[in-house]
Amino acid sequence: MEIKKKIEILAPAGDIDSFLAAIAAGADAIYCGLKNFSARMEAENFSLTELAALTELAHAKGIRVHVAMNNLLKTPELDQAGRLIHRLQTQVGPDALIVQDLGLPALARQAGFKGELHLSTLANGGTIAGLPQILALGVDRLVLPRELSIDEIKAVAARCPDELGLEVFVHGALCYAVSGRCYWSSYLGGKSGLRGRCVQPCRRQYQQKSQKTSFFSCDDLSLDVLVRPLSGVDKACSWKIEGRKKGPHYVYYTVTAYRMLRDAGDDPAQRKAALGLLDMALGRPSSHYNFLGHRPSNPIADREQTASGHMVGKVQGGFKAAYVSPREPLKSGDLLRIGYEDQAGHQTVKIRRDIPKGGRLELAKGQGRPAPQGAPVFLVDRRERELQVLIADLKKDLAFDRPTKESTFSPTLPRSVRRKGKPREMDVWRSLPARLGNQSEQAVWLTPGVERNISRNIFGRIWWWLPPVIWPGEEKAWTECLDNMTRLGARQFVLNAPWQMGLFGKPERQTFWAGPMCNTANPLALAELARMGFAGAFVSPELDRQGFLELPALSPLPLGILVKGIHPLCVSRIRSENLREREPFQSPKGEQFWSRTYGGLVWTFPNWEIDLSEKWTELEKAGYTLLARLHEPVPEKVSIKERQGLWNWDLKML
């Protein structure tokens, strides 16, 4: 009789206490990040010395440790990342490495990493037809997008190779945008979400006409009792709890709750107790999101409060003597958030003494001014004495005094192929104009059915751009569309996820380029694209001047670059019912945007362009072979702003 393997409860940890709380709660595995190369760089994260001691303790208790190095890597960072992986292997020995960048699997193997490789949700690998390509990358586990329904998860699992496991999010914060397909923070803050520095612009309030609200801020995901049907999906081997920026209270309560739902979910009393624990975890209000595909719930909050925490009172006392009289007892060590993120006086306060219900907590000024009268106060982390005792007992077994060693590892880069000659130009349209220019190649964003409106006389000469995301339920229509297009003579395609190549029945008959939303930024990633069969690649728009100019000389593939046009801030599977499409809305700082739905995606655009036109000669000398312009239709009510569109050229994207 075959014994079914127990589903893994995968806990987040952003600091030592949260890591130990996960152990105390009975997690099967813990994922965490280092001080560098993590997609949650705003978390405290760990040094190698700390992680080595914690991993030794976790392994002694039969708990796996996964280390996230899931951000986009630029060429100069390959040496440092490789040395870090080498030191991870020799000094820490984690069980798995979580990666986003296509070049990381090769780098990890070069550095001698012997653990599993898990492909991050930032790589957007939910395409069923692309699963063999993901396996060929050397990946052991795929982290599925949060947007998938249970039926889509089952469809992916049914076609998943035996050697590939699936990891599914069951709880935690939701991004408005599809993971790995968001550049919003880069546009507005110069901090890249792909590199772990997101400033969360989707949590802000925006204004459209007279309405000012949080059009993009989502409630948290919580599958709670709905994990029961998920437990029947054999390939879904891991239930992931998001929250590396959360404290030990959240980690302990959520891990305990999902362990109870896994082990005793058929017991009504256990289910009720688990739900009670999730209610006490101090997250945002929760949503099942799209998990029940036939009955989805829109997680967009459309309200003023957009951050996590449990409301315990409001600011009283006015400007000179602000205070809080809590509705429930507060304990020494608790963390309070005063006011809203975009509000004057917003701050986080650590409680230094117990405050009884109805007591008085004096508030200091935050950001130069006190929080306004009536501002809400939220409990965002709780330090129960019982949990602190458990953590303190575990700390006694940690040994942080072990020696560390530097690494001399240096990666081997692929052989580059230098290309000369005048670069080709490409114009990319939503629909082809009546008259086409003769000086450039023409391209069209593809959705099934668009091909019916284009003359067969030019069909084979057009480049066809696929969208940045294709959902599992759409794959049949896409496969039929692409088969039909190939039969009609289409040969040139730009794919905005590498896995989309699996949608083509006979890919040897086409020419494929990797699009800009493949987020390619280093030679090892380009070598992987070449191995997959790509003939060229557009570089990530998040490179800076140095990155743009040095990469062609190091690339094994011809390179393209976006030189002008309106690039999306992000794409999403949802939108606020209160946000009118094709009409402008504004950020708190006056930046203007609009949204529009194409196929199964809601695209959000800024009202200014990327414009590297003045750098054309430099890009040509650097060796780019294809320079593209995006022509996005601008709604009548939107005015394009004249502003510098050099994107990251002079900015070291964090």
Which of 318, 347, 381 terminates a domain? The answer is: 381
One domain for residues 508 and 601: yes
pLDDT at site 2: 43
Mean per-residue pLDDT, 612-638: 95
* Strands of the 347-350 sheet, one edge to the other: 347-350, 335-338, 376-381, 310-316, 323-324, 361-362
Task: Tell me the pairing of strands 361-362 and 441-445.
Answer: unpaired
Span 281-295, pLDDT tens digits: 988 889 999 999 888
Mean per-residue pLDDT, 356-385: 82
pLDDT at site 235: 95
One domain for residues 367 and 474: no
Report yes or no on 392 lying in a domain: no
Span 56-106, pLDDT tens digits: 999 999 999 999 999 999 999 999 999 999 999 999 999 999 999 999 999
CATH number at residue 240: 3.20.20.70
* Structure letter (DSSP) for residue 480: H
Compute the distance between CA of residue 385 and CA of residue 213 in angstroms, rounded to an integer. 38
Q: Which residue has the higher pLDDT, 588 or 551?
A: 551
Amino acid letter for position 604:
T
One domain for residues 213 and 333: no
pLDDT at site 180: 93
User: Quick check: 654 pLDDT over 70?
Assistant: no
- pLDDT bin (cut points 50, 70, 90) of residue 307 is low
CATH number at residue 343: 2.40.30
Report yes or no on 158 lying in a domain: yes
Compute the distance between CA of residue 455 and CA of residue 242 in angstroms, rounded to an integer. 48
**634 burial via Cβ count (<10 Å: 0-12, 13-18, 19+):** middle
Domain extent for 500: 424-631
- pLDDT bin (cut points 50, 70, 90) of residue 170 is very high
pLDDT at site 43: 54
- What average pLDDT does the chain have? 91
One domain for residues 452 and 358: no
pLDDT at site 310: 82
- pLDDT bin (cut points 50, 70, 90) of residue 649 is confident
Highest-pLDDT range among 150-154, 197-201, 338-342, 415-419 = 150-154
At 12, list the tokens: 């987040």
Report yes or no on 191 lying in a domain: no
Mean per-residue pLDDT, 154-174: 96
Q: Which residue has the higher pLDDT, 372 or 511?
A: 511
Report yes or no on 419 lying in a domain: no
pLDDT at site 1: 34
Mean per-residue pLDDT, 8-21: 96
Mean per-residue pLDDT, 334-361: 85
Which of 381, 415, 444 terminates a domain? The answer is: 381
User: Quick check: 326 pLDDT over 90?
Assistant: yes
One domain for residues 102 and 58: yes
One domain for residues 319 and 266: no
- Helix, coil or strand: residue 454: coil
Q: Which of 13-17, 72-76, 190-194, 501-505 has the lowest mean pLDDT?
A: 190-194
Mean per-residue pLDDT, 638-653: 79
Which of 243, 263, 295 terminates a domain? The answer is: 295
At 399, list the tokens: 């040994």
User: Quick check: 382 pLDDT over 90?
Assistant: no
Span 568-608, pLDDT tens digits: 999 999 999 999 999 999 998 889 999 999 999 999 999 99
pLDDT at site 15: 94
Span 192-210, pLDDT tens digits: 888 888 888 898 889 999 9
* pTM for this predicted structure: 0.94
Q: Which of 255-264, 338-347, 596-605 has the lowest mean pLDDT?
A: 338-347
One domain for residues 144 and 253: yes
User: Quick check: 191 pLDDT over 80?
Assistant: yes
Report yes or no on 250 lying in a domain: yes
Report yes or no on 226 lying in a domain: yes
One domain for residues 603 and 512: yes
One domain for residues 131 and 206: yes
At a CB cut-off of 8 Å and minimum separation 6, what does 72 contact? Answer: 100, 101, 192, 194, 195, 519, 521, 540, 542
Bridge partners of 236? 166
CATH number at residue 531: 3.20.20
E strand residue ranges, 585-641: 585-586, 592-598, 601-606, 610-611, 626-631
Q: Which of 77-86, 367-376, 486-495, 506-515 has the lowest mean pLDDT?
A: 367-376
Mean per-residue pLDDT, 529-535: 97
Short-list 178, 595, 182, 632, CA closest to 444: 632
Report yes or no on 413 lying in a domain: no
One domain for residues 562 and 607: yes
Q: How many domains does the chain have?
A: 3
One domain for residues 510 and 608: yes
Report yes or no on 117 lying in a domain: yes
One domain for residues 598 and 504: yes
Span 436-465, pLDDT tens digits: 667 899 999 998 888 777 777 888 889 999
